[in-house]
């Protein structure tokens, strides 16, 4: 892992890095690194999207460290011909009002197969900087990548997930026993309510909480981010 930049402001140190050809960012409190939370960004977004920098800011303010990678085909990484094809299919489905779920599930499953080993290599390197228990926080595509990552990775001890279809993830969720906080939108126009409930139900975790809010797919309330930070404080502790 090579650090390529370092900036510091308002009690937060931001370091960009590359690991092989995967770029990422590590945020730590100026006062010293607290427990690490891995952030998985959403589809079409990237490592420094406001949703990521916002969550990193909340985490660091609570004493945590946070790290994010650009997912395959996202951010500063090249898109393959397959990436281009799948993105075009998604955009076409959105434009015509066809269900986008089957395309997203397939494409994000492919992305997860590429992303999980990248995250595991990054975690090996990040643990030199930030030892101790690790959390994972990602919704939408962040959950499509997070569920197989958590199932494969015993170092992850708690996860905030949500807003994804069940079919490709249920069997993996049944293998997961760490504490889970799972967000869904009660009136999601893309993910059927029964599907979201089925994915939450599948986790074998003795401690799991579903937060279902009225509203459509993109209307997840801001206060759920603060809730996720409290969830990590309960399960990972803070310095």
Residues that bind its own copies (CB under 8 A): 186, 197, 200-201, 205-214, 221, 223, 227, 230, 234
Reference 143, options 160, 158, 157; nearest CA is: 160
Nearest to 233 by CA among 68, 60, 67: 60
CB of 229 to its own copies, least distance (A): 13
Residue 48 or 211 having the CB closest to its own copies:
211
Instruction: Describe the chain by its helix, strand, coil percentages, rounded to 5.
Output: 40, 25, 35
CB of 203 to its own copies, least distance (A): 8
* Minimum CB distance to its own copies, residue 116 (Å): 26
Q: How far is the CB of 200 from its own copies (least distance, A)?
A: 8
CA distances from 54 to 11, 65, 89, 196 (A): 14, 13, 30, 25
- Smallest gap from residue 9 Cβ to its own copies (A): 28
Nearest CA to 16 out of 73, 95, 76, 57 is that of: 76
Cβ-proximal residues to 44 (8 Å cutoff; 6+ apart), any chain: 74, 87
Q: How many CB atoms lie within 10 A of CB 104?
A: 23
What residues pair up with 227 in beta bridges, in sequence order? none
> Which CB atom, from 13 or from 199, has the smaller least distance to its own copies?
199
Going by the DSSP 8-state scheme, the letter that residue 218 receives in this structure is: G
Q: Which is nearer to its own copies, 79 or 234 (CB)?
A: 234
CA 205 – CA 192 distance, rounded (Å) = 23
Cα dihedral sign, 164-170-172-173: positive
Which CB, 3 or 186, lies closer to its own copies? 186
Residue with smaller CB distance to its own copies, 227 or 238: 227
The least CB distance from residue 178 to its own copies, in Å, is 12
Which residue lies nearer to its own copies by CB, 18 or 209? 209
Nearer to its own copies, 16 or 207 (CB): 207
> What is the smallest separation between the CB atom of 197 and its own copies, expressed in angstroms?
8
Task: In whole angstroms, give the CA distance from residue 211 to residue 21.
Answer: 36
């Amino acid at each position: 892992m090579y650090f390529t930049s370092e900036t510091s402001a308002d009690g937060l140190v931001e370091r960009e890095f590359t690991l092989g050809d995967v770029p990422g960012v590590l945020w730590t409190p100026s006062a010293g690194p607290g427990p690490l939370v891995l952030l998985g960004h959403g589809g079409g977004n990237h490592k420094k999207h406001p949703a990521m920098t916002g969550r990193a800011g909340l985490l660091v303010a609570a004493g945590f460290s946070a790290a994010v990678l650009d997912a395959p085909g996202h951010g500063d990484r090249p898109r393959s011909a397959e990436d281009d094809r799948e993105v075009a299919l998604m955009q076409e489905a959105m434009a015509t009002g066809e269900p986008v779920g089957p395309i997203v599930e397939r494409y994000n499953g492919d992305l997860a197969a590429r992303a999980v080993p990248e995250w595991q290599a990054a975690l090996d390197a990040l643990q030199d900087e930030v030892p101790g228990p690790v959390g994972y926080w990602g919704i939408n595509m962040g959950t499509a990548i997070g569920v197989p990552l958590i199932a494969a990775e015993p170092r992850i001890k708690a996860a905030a997930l949500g807003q994804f279809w069940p079919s490709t993830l249920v069997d993996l969720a049944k293998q997961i026993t760490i504490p889970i906080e799972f967000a869904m939108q009660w009136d999601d126009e893309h993910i059927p309510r029964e599907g979201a409930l089925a994915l939450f139900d599948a986790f074998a975790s003795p401690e799991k909480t579903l937060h279902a809010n009225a509203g459509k797919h993109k209307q997840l309330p801001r206060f759920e981010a603060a809730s996720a930070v409290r969830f990590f404080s309960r399960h990972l502790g803070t310095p």
